[in-house]
Structure 1
Amino acid sequence: MTEPTDPFRIASAVWQDLCDYQPGAAAALTVQLKAMPEDWPLRVFGVGRPDAATALPPAAHGEVFDDMRPEIPPYAEHSFDECPACIEAEDNCRYHKGYATGHHEALQAELDAVKADPTITLKDFLQRQADHADAPA
């Protein structure tokens, strides 16, 4: 059984997704990889051999969010349940966490309006927002 952090399995999945969803980026990556010098493991990862580079643990090089593994693309923008990155993370991926935060912030004004006046309807609220946006400054 393949371990979930097997770098060759992850690389294969990332490459396939890149080819499927970003073929131009996949082609550019191929050109960039072909141009890499022979001593790329040392220059890129600070190790002397390619097999040592494949043994590096997640977050060992360049990962800003050390509390989260980088998710696989693509992000299923409108479906939290079918997003491959959410499935891999077993939680909302970074994209969907950001989306949920933004959605909450966008709706916070509506929530505040309902708290201030429980009789307000969504139509009234949206009309007030439109009137406020159209009002001269």
Structure 2
Amino acid sequence: MTNGTTHLTRLRTRMLATAYCNADLWTQRTAFLTDQAVAALAHRDPAAAEDLAAQQLAPEFLHDTQILGAAVEAGIDTSTWPERREKIQAYAREAAGLDPHFDPATEAHRLWASLRSHYPQIAAALADNLSGLPESWREDLFTPARPTLKNIPGPETAPYDPTDWEDCEACGEAQDQCRFHRGFFAGQEYQSDLVKTLLTDGVAIEHVQERHAELERLHAQTTTAPDRDEPAAAL
């Protein structure tokens, strides 16, 4: 305890803050109803409520015997619980190997609807910015002018350990490929398809060569242009 605040007050503060601030409906309801149960206990037995709050704020690892013992005492049939837990754990282990189901059009629609709802001014500015892009925006944005390792954008912010491909904690939390590994594999597939296209399609090769030459010219003009802020040299 700090500043005379009881464990019960600290616990109720956390639960009610969770119920108020969390965006998940079930988390909100669980936190609020748990707070109401603790409050009811505090009215009947303040000492028991304070002890329960102290245990909650300093949690220890729960053993199966504790959980199953409490279930048996409550008269709950736990015969199917081991099988259910094994299925859940097996799904979590196999989830990292599942192919991601990702629809860019659906995700873009969701992001735009959320942005327009919560940040309409930013959505309007973004729409103005996108409407002003040239017809070659796809090549300009997603084709590097100089294909080197330094200027190729990464797939996403790296998770805890980006080198751990087999047991990524971020993938386990998402029960799917995390955004980093999903973006990495999507980039590999894109590069593979691009190479195959360039090897078999002469028109695509010519188009890429033209765009590369154009970007090189623009880059050269940018690097050789004089600084307007500098005064002109005296003749």
Q: Could you state the TM-score of these two structures normalised by the residue count of structure 1?
A: 0.34
Q: Of the two, which has the highest radius of gyration?
A: 2
Q: Could you state the TM-score of these two structures normalised by the residue count of structure 2?
A: 0.23
More helix by share: 2
